[in-house]
Structure 1
């Protein structure tokens, strides 16, 4: 793989050689949510040129970070997925996201929030200590998409789309701006969300997901 060479025998330098190119970490973020088709990645990353996406995926494959798989029925076809080596990057992405969230400021023209970004924010904000022993499920509805969070005995599964089974609480909010994690937490604190299900789980959600900051 042709990559940027910093000429330093340093772990950070090597990491940047492998994943420091433009768009690479966002591709990894989306693949961390679930395996994606090439066209899904292209649609979910507005602004990325098709040739750049193809190059980045090839680089990630050559580095052993991502791989191609055959999707199970009924959705036959090739998808891209993270390898075990690639999955080791998820905590790094969480930490970078939390740090980056402190630098966001007001949204810039043309910026969007994708369901993958909101899902990754939930994973990054999840506090396993607060969730110890907890079993609960939530769906979060925005005008454009749905994401879910399911905690089973303190273990989180968060993804795009509805909960596989009936959610215990549905949180619906109509953001004034982007449907980001920050906007969601603010809306909950201000009582600007609609809920359906077990009301007590709204406070639980805030406690479990709002204590570590967003990504």
Structure 2
């Protein structure tokens, strides 16, 4: 065991719990502050260091560097250099890293049931798109076939394709989408999760405007968790 711990330290990996449970090891892999959010930002493809910092304004450059190194050492992401003329380093998830989407979605859906969750706080473009993947209700989308584009600024453009009771969201040009929404992630989120009207929050709507009302109903938030009697006193 001592030899293994020394090997882990040399490889730059943390061993916090000395516990064989998979949940404990998951926390050792992604339990440090910002780690899961970095994975979330990379779920839609490779990102530059500057793009990650812009999406996570509360993180310092030093901490972001540390987390990227740690996630790379854990095998969850890789750093690669874009070919000329870009010659810029980007970070992208490994196939195993992409598998973290499911636990991230499950954790997010569980957490929004907290009475303390505040959907009006700032969120990134990737966070909004991940919420669509997480909260999508296949039953409400029955019979709907649609392509919806989102221009969320700063090169954050996405296309959501809905069909056969499923949703696919990818980064991409939204010019040819049947419905196009232009605004900030918070503004679009206010429409979908807050019931706001597009004109009231400053979202530009192009194309099939009536589709927006149907789209906004596809992502119901789960009921808040009740507090068991006596729980507050424990």
TM over 0.5: yes
Q: Distance in 2 between matches of 1:48 and 1:118?
A: 19
8 Å CA contact retained: 1:27, 1:41: yes
Q: Which residue of 1 aligns with 2:133?
A: 123
Unaligned runs of 5+ in 1: none
CA RMSD of aligned residues (A): 3.3
Label 1:74 to 1:91 Cα distance change in 2 as closer, same or farther (>3 A): farther
- Aligned to 1:33, the other structure's residue is in SS state coil
**TM-score w.r.t. structure 1 length?**
0.77
Deviation of residue 197 (structure 1)? 1.7
Q: Distance in 2 between matches of 1:64 and 1:74?
A: 28
1:146-195: CA deviation from partner (whole Å, max 9, x where unpaired)? 643331654544245641x41201245689xx4363x22255x4544564
Confirm or deny that 1:198 pairs with 2:208. yes
Label 1:147 to 1:37 Cα distance change in 2 as closer, same or farther (>3 A): closer
> Which structure ranks higher in relative contact order (CA pairs < 8 Å, sequence separation ≥ 6)?
1
Larger Rg: 2
1:39-82: CA deviation from partner (whole Å, max 9, x where unpaired)? 22122211212221111111111111001123356644221000
Unaligned runs of 5+ in 2: 1-11, 223-234
- Aligned to 2:161, the other structure's residue is in SS state strand
| Superposition pairs of residues 136-215 of structure 1, within 5 angstroms | 136-140=146-150, 147-151=157-161, 153-154=163-164, 156-159=167-170, 162-163=173-174, 165-171=175-181, 178-179=186-187, 181=189, 183-186=190-193, 189=195, 191-193=197-199, 195-207=205-217, 209-211=218-220
Deviation of residue 201 (structure 1)? 2.3
Q: Give 2:36's match in structure 1, choosing from 25, 38, 51.
A: 25
Count of aligned positions? 206
